[in-house]
Structure 1
Amino acid sequence: MDVGDVPQEGNRTMGGHRRAMYARDVDGRIVIVPSRGGEVDETVTLQALDLIREMTEAAKARVLAGESSPLEYWMYAQRLDLPQLSQVTGFWQWRIRRHFKPERFAMLSADILLRYADVMGITVGQLMKLP
């Protein structure tokens, strides 16, 4: 992509911010060019946000049906997925999946609940129930 081809249309998902993109200048060197984004960026971001919203609502329905714990809902509500939650908490993915089971979640220690709550930026009280 040439410097003049870097999208500068702007999109509402970036909130007026810019991001760095690499482009080739007139001398053939690769340089960093600030971009306001474009229609493609906006479309992809909105699709990703819709998918996250759908996953959050599906998790909420499972919690209300007693099939999952509030942990799964909060994971998606905070825009995390299982590998990310595993990485930031230090828990194995299989262990987190086990914590999705309501009966296991109810038996978690205060330390484990606090670790989840801290990672998600919420209180333990919020973590224990749906909003």
Structure 2
Amino acid sequence: MKKEEVPQDKSNLSKSNMKELCYATDENGNYTTALSSGWEPKTIALEQSMLEINERIEQAKEDVKLGLVSPIVYFMEVCKMDWMTLSGYVGMWTWRVKRHGKPSVFKKLSNKLLAKYAEAFEISVEELKNYKGE
């Protein structure tokens, strides 16, 4: 794409006065960089993915409220993590972290272990322990 053809559509980037760096060709055909305020297809894809993330957060909140999952699942969704990512942050096997997603197992976790999760989620241990899906 030529430098003057770099998309400048309205997007979430333009709302925050941010620009995205793109590669384009100049008048001599050489690669150069150009700033873009947005590109409609990309904006649509990002908005769709954010809607899906928000739906998963709401579902996790409801599941915590109903006692189906532990608060770990909710905060994992809020922080846009999956089981493997979270296990990397807390330094545990993925199967073990998934197990901590069960309310019965979560209730038995030590404060030391809860502190690892709280640090990964950037919240306090008390906030993690006391979250009931409100």
Shift of the 89–26 alpha-carbon distance from structure 1 to 2, 3 Å rule, reads: farther
Alignment of 1:1-131 (within 5 A): 1-13=1-13, 15-128=16-129, 129=131, 130-131=133-134
> May I ask how many residue pairs the two structures share in their alignment?
131
Contact 1:75 1:120 in 2 (8 A): yes
Shift of the 46–79 alpha-carbon distance from structure 1 to 2, 3 Å rule, reads: same
Deviation of 1:18 after TM superposition, in Å, equals 1.0
What's the Cα RMSD here?
Answer: 1.7
Q: Secondary structure of the residue that 2:73 maps to in structure 1?
A: helix
Deviations 1:86-121 (A, max 9, x none): 222222221111110111111112122111111111
In the alignment, the residues of structure 2 paired with residue 23 and residue 111 of structure 1 have an alpha-carbon distance, to the nearest angstrom, of 51
Contact 1:10 1:16 in 2 (8 A): no
In the alignment, the residues of structure 2 paired with residue 31 and residue 13 of structure 1 have an alpha-carbon distance, to the nearest angstrom, of 21
Shift of the 81–13 alpha-carbon distance from structure 1 to 2, 3 Å rule, reads: farther
Shift of the 32–82 alpha-carbon distance from structure 1 to 2, 3 Å rule, reads: farther
Contact 1:23 1:32 in 2 (8 A): yes
TM-score (norm 2): 0.86
Shift of the 27–86 alpha-carbon distance from structure 1 to 2, 3 Å rule, reads: farther
* Structure 2 unaligned regions, length at least 5: none
Shift of the 91–13 alpha-carbon distance from structure 1 to 2, 3 Å rule, reads: farther
In the alignment, the residues of structure 2 paired with residue 87 and residue 19 of structure 1 have an alpha-carbon distance, to the nearest angstrom, of 29
Percent sequence identity over aligned pairs: 33
TM-score (norm 1): 0.88
Deviation of 1:52 after TM superposition, in Å, equals 0.6
Shift of the 23–86 alpha-carbon distance from structure 1 to 2, 3 Å rule, reads: farther
In the alignment, the residues of structure 2 paired with residue 122 and residue 98 of structure 1 have an alpha-carbon distance, to the nearest angstrom, of 21
* Structure 1 unaligned regions, length at least 5: none
